[in-house]
Amino acid sequence: MKALFPALMKWVATAGEDLHRCRAAEIRAIVKEEGGVSAAALEKMSLKKSVVYEALRIEPPVPYQYGKAKQDIIIKNHDSNFLIKKGEMIFGYQPMATKDTRVFDKPEEFVADRFMSEGEKLIEYVYWSNGRETDDPTVDNKQCAGKDLVLLLSRLMLVEFFLKYDTFTAEIGKLLLGSLVTFKSLKKAT
């Protein structure tokens, strides 16, 4: 969370005031319609969900993954196959997958609505939890057991923030293990 929340707010801050107002409008309308913040309300907020996935795509909180192969496996990319033998160490840098130009248009840009409508099919290419976003953690894989909690908390953070504020500006910096976000202005909800 120490890496994720600042990165999430960094990308939201850099997206600008128009996106802030759209997000705030979506969140407030659905919260009003649902009678409060609930699991059903969170599921209806497609822009907010897309923003969270996009932040995870562009800047995974844990970009490196590694492990020993439990059996011989073949890893495939667009052009080749690679045999990894049982017992060999595997290292992955997740942004190589999440910024693949053959999968994502403008992969270095934060596109808030990338995972809305037709873009939802791209969610399977978001690797931030040591596996595909569409896969579930099990005792047989190394996927983050808390991945659903991370998504929930990220969504709740945006919901609570935009229930209170219309827009904000921030100064963005870099820390050793992530982003530094210093809020410069906050405009209360109107």
Q: Letter for the amino acid at 146?
A: G
**Nearby residues of 111 by Cβ (< 8 Å), 6 or more positions away:** 54, 105
What residues form the annotated binding site for heme? 144
What residues form the annotated binding site? 144
DSSP string, 19-53: HHHHHHHHHHHHHHHHTSS-HHHHHH-HHHHHHHH
CA 18/CA 24 separation, integer angstroms = 10
**Nearby residues of 51 by Cβ (< 8 Å), 6 or more positions away:** 11, 12, 15, 19, 23, 112, 158
User: For residue 35, what are its two tokens?
Assistant: 């009678």
User: For residue 19, what are its two tokens?
Assistant: 């996106």
Other CB atoms closer than 10 Å to residue 110's CB: what's the count? 18
* Rg value, the chain, Cα: 18
